[in-house]
């Protein structure tokens, strides 16, 4: 089997930065690092980091109060904010735990939060295109000062309240560009002066573009590697299916079904922004052996 790997498969720079911060704070296991929910959406990488005493506490959506486990050693501890970011209220709460604090929020997400905050302060209602249950969006809503509204479909746009003043629109960083444009077009019919910020990150756009290239290069099927909860990975699997190609979303090489895949002679491989290289490499090697 011929395997074509997407150029952009693997960690984006925001994920690399968050992992670097956690490892830097852990000092090779000399200190305990607590992350509020998963640092990144990949349980295999989180398991690998646990060997350096990076521990996930809290929950996926950063809603629960944190009960730090009782320690049997005198190691120092530190709290690290995950790549998806958190709300201002959650930030204050984490700082109130009394431990050293490091922010691992992806700078691209930080830019979105800044736009939401600044426009809400100026009286704008802010419409956010994204998944209302995703931790990035939950964090962004926290900066909207009660003026934030999440939409994920044209019906959601129809159900928005009537805005009296100015309106701004941003996107969760991992959404589809063509879907964002569709909702912009619909919302701008009601609000011609709609202020739009294209906040879909470059890494997401690159992954989506590279997947299209896999199809153009002759991939008969697409294998998408990444966590089942990873928004950008799920989007890649959905995009692959839209090009009338069988799409297989796997977390690890163990999820590959040889009997389903060995009928293809050319397979494209891509991976989400939180997927480590060792998993991508093992999947590619397995496919090449079929």
Contact 80, 34 (CB under 8 A): yes
> Are 81 and 138 in the same domain?
no
> Are 92 and 115 in the same domain?
no
Mean pLDDT of the chain: 95
> Are 91 and 169 in the same domain?
no
Which of 270, 227, 278 is closest to 5 using CA atoms? Answer: 270
> Are 94 and 115 in the same domain?
no
Query: Taking residues 1-15, what's their average pLDDT?
Result: 95
- Stretch (H or E) spanning 168: strand 167-171
- Stretch (H or E) spanning 101: strand 101-103
Contact 54, 81 (CB under 8 A): no
> Are 94 and 116 in the same domain?
no
Query: Taking residues 48-58, what's their average pLDDT?
Result: 94
Instruction: Give the integer Cα–Cα distance in Å for 56 and 50.
Output: 8
Residue in 76, 136, 254, 285 annotated catalytic: 136
The domain boundary, picked from 141, 163, 196, lies at: 196
Do β-strands 221-225 and 148-151 pair in parallel, antiparallel, or remain unpaired? unpaired
Q: What is the pLDDT of residue 71?
A: 72
278 pLDDT tier (thresholds 50, 70, 90): very high
Percent of the chain with pLDDT over 90: 87
**pLDDT of 125 higher than 90:** yes
Q: What is the pLDDT of residue 183?
A: 98
CATH code assigned at 51: 3.40.50.11270
> Are 95 and 140 in the same domain?
no
Q: What is the pLDDT of residue 283?
A: 97
> Are 171 and 155 in the same domain?
yes
Domain tally, the chain: 3
70 pLDDT tier (thresholds 50, 70, 90): confident
What three-state secondary structure class fits 185?
helix
> Are 138 and 84 in the same domain?
no
CATH code assigned at 145: 3.40.1010.20
Q: What is the largest CA-CA distance in the chain?
A: 61
Instruction: Give the integer Cα–Cα distance in Å for 127 and 124.
Output: 9
> Are 89 and 117 in the same domain?
no
Q: What is the pLDDT of residue 138?
A: 97
Q: Residue 227 is encoded by which pair of tokens?
A: 């966590």
Q: What is the pLDDT of residue 230?
A: 87
30 pLDDT tier (thresholds 50, 70, 90): very high
> Are 129 and 187 in the same domain?
yes
- What's the Cα-to-Cα distance from 70 to each of 74, 75, 210, rounded to whole Å? 11, 12, 46
The domain boundary, picked from 56, 71, 105, lies at: 105
Q: What is the pLDDT of residue 205?
A: 95
Tens-digit pLDDT profile for residues 154-188:
999 999 999 999 999 999 999 999 999 999 999 99
Range in 63-77, 170-184, 188-202 the model is least confident about:
63-77
164 as an active site residue: the answer is no
> Are 254 and 208 in the same domain?
yes
**pLDDT of 229 higher than 90:** no
Range of the domain at 278: 2-10+203-289
DSSP string, 220-286: SEEEEES-TT-HHHHHHHHHHHHTT--EEEESSGGG--HHHHTT-SEEEEEE-TT--HHHHHHHHHH
The domain boundary, picked from 61, 88, 105, lies at: 105
> Are 29 and 95 in the same domain?
yes
């Amino acid at each position: 089997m011929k395997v074509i790997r997407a150029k952009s498969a693997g960690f984006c720079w925001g994920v690399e930065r968050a992992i670097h911060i956690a490892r830097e704070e852990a000092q090779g296991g000399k200190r305990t690092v607590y992350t509020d929910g998963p640092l990144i959406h990949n349980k295999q990488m989180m398991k690998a980091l646990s060997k350096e005493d990076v521990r996930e506490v809290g929950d996926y959506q950063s809603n629960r109060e944190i009960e730090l486990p009782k320690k049997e050693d005198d190691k120092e501890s530190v709290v690290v904010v995950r790549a998806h970011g958190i709300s201002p209220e959650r930030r204050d709460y984490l700082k109130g735990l009394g431990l050293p604090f490091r922010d691992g929020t992806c700078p691209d997400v930080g830019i979105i939060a800044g736009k939401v905050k600044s426009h809400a302060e100026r009286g704008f209602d802010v419409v956010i295109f994204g998944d209302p249950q995703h931790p990035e969006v939950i964090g962004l809503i926290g900066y909207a000062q009660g003026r934030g509204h999440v939409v994920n479909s044209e019906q959601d746009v129809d159900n928005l309240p009537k805005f009296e003043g100015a309106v701004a629109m941003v996107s969760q960083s991992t959404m589809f560009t063509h879907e964002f444009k569709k909702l912009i077009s619909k919302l701008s019919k009601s609000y011609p002066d709609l202020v739009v910020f294209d906040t879909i990150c470059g890494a997401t756009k690159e992954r989506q573009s590279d997947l299209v290239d896999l199809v153009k290069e002759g991939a008969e099927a697409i294998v998408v590697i990444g966590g089942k909860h990873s928004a950008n990975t799920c989007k890649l699997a959905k995009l692959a299916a839209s090009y009338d190609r069988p799409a297989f979303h796997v977390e690890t090489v163990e999820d590959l079904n040889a009997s389903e895949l060995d009928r293809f002679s050319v397979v494209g491989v891509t991976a989400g922004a939180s997927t480590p290289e060792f998993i991508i490499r093992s999947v590619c090697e397995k496919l090449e052996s079929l």
